[in-house]
Structure 1
Amino acid sequence: MLKFPAPLRPGDRIGVTSPSAGVHGGEADRIDFCVTWLREAGFDVVVGNQMDGTGITAGPAADRAAELTAMLCDPAIRCVIPPWGGETAIDLLDLLDWDALAAAEPTWLVGFSDLSTILVPLTTRLGWATVHGDNLADTPYEVPEGLLSWLDVAAGVGPHVQHDSGVIADWWRFEEDVRATSWKPGGEGHWTLHGAESLHLTGRLIGGCVETMCNIAGTPYGDVAAFGREHASDGLIVYVEAAGDEAATICRNLHGLRLAGWFDHARAVLVGRTHAPDHPQLTQREAVLDALGRLGIPIVFDVEIGHVPPHLPLVNGALATVTVGADSREIRQLLR
């Protein structure tokens, strides 16, 4: 059974911890600014102890797992968000106290990139809805017309309606502007549809970063096939996005997800924009089609859900309706 955390309101407490990469040097100025920004928006923000950015992770896996578990189980904390992603959040999955989490009321967990490694298991194992959206470092950026912030999405059951923004942006480097709230202009781009003339369908959302999802597929922490069977009456809308691996690697990883049953109950696939490199003989789009084209279901390319900002927040577990036609490119989410 799916469980949606209570709507997030100003005055609620937000916990900041680093399940993966921590904060070091000049990065700390950006995170300090983002914490202040959330406080000025009316939230009570507490920052954990697992924030050290001098190594590849913010601390020993057991310590990171304990702090994340404690924050997610603390009834006073209504949302947890990391500063950003990282590389090896997978090392704490079997160290989280899953029994304690199962007994707790659900808490919002928000983020993307390496945090996908934790978002998906919380949804597939516990039924907790989780938000694939901005990390803390991105949260102060202004939201382009047509999109919503993750704060808006977590604030109520919806329907939360978002449209193709047409915007491709970029981050400001911290040394350029540590207090940036407007995206660096990057260009224009739009969703494109493969496998159908138009699209209008509904399903439960699940997905994340390809490079992290491929490592938990087929394990108890990434059993999307079982999640799909559980929600077979609704069907799934699976979303994927490539962080930075070249196209041949992404192709292999997507085949791995397919063989692990990730798309067995999928009615459509959403694919995020990427700046990840092509292979000399295979583009990123061709990599997706090589692995997923044989599914015979619609694929929507170039959605704002990945490592190319801005970000369109998606709620794992939400009932979503995707519409793509001549005059409409829209996703509508109901948190129920």
Structure 2
Amino acid sequence: MNNRSIRYPQPLAQGDMIGVAAPSSGVGESLYHYLEESKRNMERLGFDVLESPSLRHNIKCVSASKEERAEEMNEFFRNPNIQAIIPPWGGEFLMDILPLLDWEALKTLPPKWVMGYSDISTFLFAYTLITGTASAHGTNYVDLRSNALDPVTARWIDVLQTKYGGQITQSSSTHYQSAWKPESPGFNLDTPSRWKQLGHSEDADTAVSFSGRLIGGCMDTISSLIGTPYAPVQSYLDQYCADEGTIWYLESCEMNAGDIYRHLWQMKQAGWFAGVKGFMFGRPAGYSDTADFNFTDALSSALGDLDVPVLYDVDLGHVPPQLTFVNGALGKVAYENGRGSLEMAFV
């Protein structure tokens, strides 16, 4: 049996305060209108917004010094008026703040929802592994500035409003965005979506289901934590996943096929995939093949001998839209003929 239970934050409710901190990149003056548009939408939904002091700064890829960024996150966790923390977006160097966070306090303070992706998954990953607290890998603050969110993105609020003991199911998108158009709020979903199963042709009639506790993030950033105190994966597997196993959800940004293979190889050698029941990979962003070695070659080379289902081109990560994945939740994935669903139980 599991030795401990995952801690889940209280469901987000109208009247709650959302803290907008920038533990990685901040927002320069030319993009302040993104923050204003997102704030208006949050207030329209009934939430108050509190910005961190460094949010509206960005120099050399970060909002402030690592000491300032860490203290702002520590303060937001200590602030009893803040129920959720949603950074504006990711960045490059969130790992610098991990040694400066008050981890002992984060283990005992009331849990709070933290949501984001890209470099924010560096924090989410460490936060769940170290403290046993659920965290939400999903859309970022500035992408919530549209008045009319697509059906997949819009489920973020339903996920964060799910109670302990509750369940929520999300379904795959019908279309995804082929290119970024940041000048327009919302996503330009212009290309038909189709989830795929490794080892089967794209038009094959296939079906598969698998379940396990969810964990994952952006491979570009979480892989940098291998061998550090901020990725106690084995402890997480032993304490929370001994009965159910895991579902790893992963995505990449700026990696070619060779990079993806090397990162997955390193994760596997570090023991991260012990007890895995299945994988979900997002549509790769900034991607290119390596000679005659492509994305599916990378997945097959790294994971083919594990004999578990591998889904790819899933709604996850840098190619919108994306489902909201909760680290620590008990997930059940159902896939059939290019469509899929993710059921999460907060237990």
Give the TM-score normalised by the residue count of structure 2.
0.91
Per the TM alignment, residue 323 of structure 1 is displaced from its structure 2 partner at its CA by 0.9
Q: CA deviation at 1:222?
A: 1.4
In 2, Cα distance between equivalents of 1:317 and 1:229: 13
| Other-structure match for 1:229 | 238
| 2:161 aligned residue | 155
Deviations 1:273-292 (A, max 9, x none): 11322222321222122112
Partner residue of 2:194 out of 187, 190, 194: 190
Alpha-carbon distance in 2 for matches of 1:79, 1:168: 27
User: What does 1:303-318 align with in structure 2 at a 5 Å threshold?
Assistant: 303-318=314-329
Q: 1:78 is matched with which residue?
A: 83
CA shift for structure 1 position 327: 8.5
Name the counterpart of 1:219. Answer: 228
1:168 to 166, 176, 179: 176
Hey, what does 1:105 align to over in structure 2? 110
Range with greater deviation from structure 2 (101-110 or 149-158): 149-158
Contact 2:252 2:318 in 1 (8 A): yes
3-state SS of the aligned residue for 1:26? helix
Does structure 2 conserve the Cα–Cα contact (< 8 Å) formed by 1:205 and 1:236? Answer: yes
Q: CA RMSD in A?
A: 1.8
CA distance in 2, matches of 1:269, 1:214: 16
For 2:178 and 2:322, locate their aligned partners in 1 and report how far apart those are by CA, in whole Å.
11
Residues 225-281 of structure 1 deviation map (CA, whole Å, 9 limit, x = unaligned):
321222110110011101111111121111111111111121001000113222223
Query: Is the counterpart of residue 271 in structure 1 residue 275 in structure 2?
Result: no
2: CA distance between counterparts of 1:50 and 1:186? 35
Moved more, 272-281 or 301-310: 272-281
Counterpart residue type for residue 117 of structure 1: T
User: Do the aligned residues in 1 keep the contact of 2:152 with 2:321 (CA within 8 Å)?
Assistant: no
User: Aligned residues: percent identity?
Assistant: 33
Matches within 5 A, 1:266-305: 266-275=276-285, 276-305=287-316
- The question of 1:13 aligning with 2:17 is answered yes
CA displacement 1:131-174 (0-9 Å, x = unmatched): 00001011234443466521110001342111121211157544
2:177 aligned counterpart, secondary structure:
strand
Please name the residue that 2:68 is paired with. 63
Matched, 1:125 2:130: yes
Aligned partner of 1:134 in structure 2 is 139
1:38-59 superposed Cα distances (whole Å, 9 cap, x missing partner): 1121101000112211331111
AA aligned opposite 1:271: F
List per-residue Cα deviations over 1:75-132 (Å, max 9, x = no partner).
2100001110000100011110111111201010000000111001111110110000
The amino acid of 2:138's aligned partner reads G
CA distance in 1, matches of 2:301, 2:6: 33
- Classify 1:307/1:146 alpha carbon distance in 2 versus 1 (closer, same or farther; 3 Å): closer
Q: 1:281 to 1:328 in 2, by over 3 A?
A: closer
Gaps of 5+ in 1: none
- Tell me the TM-score normalized by structure 1: 0.94
Return closer, same or farther for 1:115/1:147 CA change in 2, 3 Å cut-off: closer
Tell me if the contact between 1:205 and 1:238 (Cα under 8 Å) persists in the aligned partners: yes
Verify the 8 A CA contact 1:144 1:167 in the aligned structure 2.
no
1:148/1:312 contact within 8 Å kept: no
The higher relative CO (CA closer than 8 Å, separation ≥ 6) is in 2
Equivalent residue for 1:144, pick from 146, 150, 154 = 150
SS across alignment from 1:289: helix
Q: Is the 8 A contact 1:148 1:313 kept in 2?
A: no
CA distance in 2 between counterparts of 1:146 and 1:118 reads: 23
- How many residue pairs end up in the alignment? 332
Contact residue 196 and residue 338 of structure 2 kept, 8 A? no
Q: Partner of 1:185: helix, strand, or coil? A: coil
The 5 A counterparts of 1:243-262 are 243-262=253-272
Structure 2, gaps ≥5 residues long: 201-205
